[in-house]
Amino acid sequence: MTSPTQKVMIVPCSGIGKAYGTVSREAAYAVTEDLRPTKTRLVPLALLVLGDEDSRTDIASYPVITIDGCKLACAAKMVRQSGGTVVKEFAVLDGYRRHKDLKPQGIAELNEGGQKLAGVLAEEVTVVVDGIMSRNHGGENA
């Protein structure tokens, strides 16, 4: 797990039709596409549910961060069932409890509160990614 090609796998909730699930996915997109694109890779929960071998190999080979929309924690459970190790679990509901002013609404398109909550969660995930990369690469960040 200390090769130069080390990545942190990000597995978000797939709670389609739920605002908290959308927040989860938006936070994951922000991390993997904007904040730490060279250090992370998004693994869609659906691929794990379907038993996709490449996705299962990736989550078994690299550290995994999950972002769940509700207390069922489907992403974290599926990562473990698929042979992965979850190094950190994030829950959108916990993030909302810390930031009650950021009430997410909407599904296909989040309201401003939901977008901001996704941004807050993305920043929290990034801190964990940086910590993992720092431990594995002797202090390298971003």
pLDDT at position 61 over 60: yes
**Structural domain of 128:** 8-134
Per-residue HEC secondary structure of the chain comes to CCCCCCCEEEEECCCCCCHHHHHHHHHHHHHHHHHCCCCEEECCHHHHHCCCHHHHHHHHHCCEEEEECCCCCHHHHHHHHCCCCEEEEEEHHHHHHHCCCCCCCCCCCCCHHHHHHHHHHHHHHHHHHHHHHHHHHCCCCC
Quick one: pLDDT band at residue 5, thresholds 50, 70, 90?
Answer: low
Domain assignment present for residue 2? The answer is no
Quick one: pLDDT band at residue 60, thresholds 50, 70, 90?
Answer: very high
Q: pTM of the predicted model, to two decimals?
A: 0.91
CATH number at residue 111: 3.40.50
Domain assignment present for residue 81? The answer is yes
Domain assignment present for residue 69? The answer is yes
Domain assignment present for residue 29? The answer is yes
Q: How confident is the model at residue 6, as a pLDDT?
A: 87
pLDDT at position 138 over 80: no
Domain assignment present for residue 141? The answer is no
27 vs 2, higher pLDDT: 27
Domain assignment present for residue 142? The answer is no
Domain assignment present for residue 1? The answer is no
Domain assignment present for residue 47? The answer is yes
